[in-house]
Amino acid sequence: MGISAGRKRKTKWWAVIFIILGVIALLIGGGILFSAPGRREVGRLTFGDVDFKKLRNGIYVGQFTGTKDHFRDTKVQVTIRGGQISDIQILKGALDKQGKPLELKKGQSIADLFDHVIQSQSLQVDVISGATLTSKAHLKALENALKQAQTE
């Protein structure tokens, strides 16, 4: 009788573990399905023409707000001095709890992406591999700020 009781206990533990793993799998799968429309929306973002030769000095704020979900909503502030981008700050988006740029992939952050924008004075920069959607959302917010800075 002792051996049979031991087997039942082991079977119960395996059943509990199996149920827990099943619930975790369902939650992950549900999260992926739930966020799919928002990921598609950001993945399909396109960028318009910004004439970097016609930027007015000043500080401008731009944002990207998703219509399918708000996981990648972003807001940035760009400073234009001497007709060129001199600084870009993330106000909302890929930030840690202290408000510093969040490390995304291989030690890179959106701040690194924005450094490339400042160096090239262009939105035509490589996005962060493995963080493509986050990069595109932040670049779209920047584009929206730069459109405000353009002279007619």
Average pLDDT, the chain: 85
136 in a structural domain: yes
Residue 74: domain span: 12-151
pLDDT greater than 60 at residue 6: no
5 in a structural domain: no
2 in a structural domain: no
The per-residue pLDDT for range 49-66, each reduced to its tens digit, is: 888 999 999 999 999 998
Mention every residue, 6+ apart, whose C-beta is less than 8 A from residue 10: none
79: β partners: 59, 87
| DSSP assigned state of 103 | P
133 in a structural domain: yes
Of 99, 110, 100, the residue nearest 132 (C-alpha)? 110
95 in a structural domain: yes
Number of domains in the chain: 1
CATH number where 142 lies: 3.90.1010.20
33 in a structural domain: yes
Q: What is the pLDDT of residue 102?
A: 87
Distance in angstroms (rounded) separating the CA atoms of residues 143 and 82: 18
Q: What is the pLDDT of residue 5?
A: 54
Q: What is the pLDDT of residue 130?
A: 85
Are 53 and 148 spatial neighbours (Cβ–Cβ below 8 Å)?
no
The per-residue pLDDT for range 93-134, each reduced to its tens digit, is: 989 999 999 888 888 999 999 999 999 999 999 989 888 889
Mention every residue, 6+ apart, whose C-beta is less than 8 A from residue 111: 90, 101
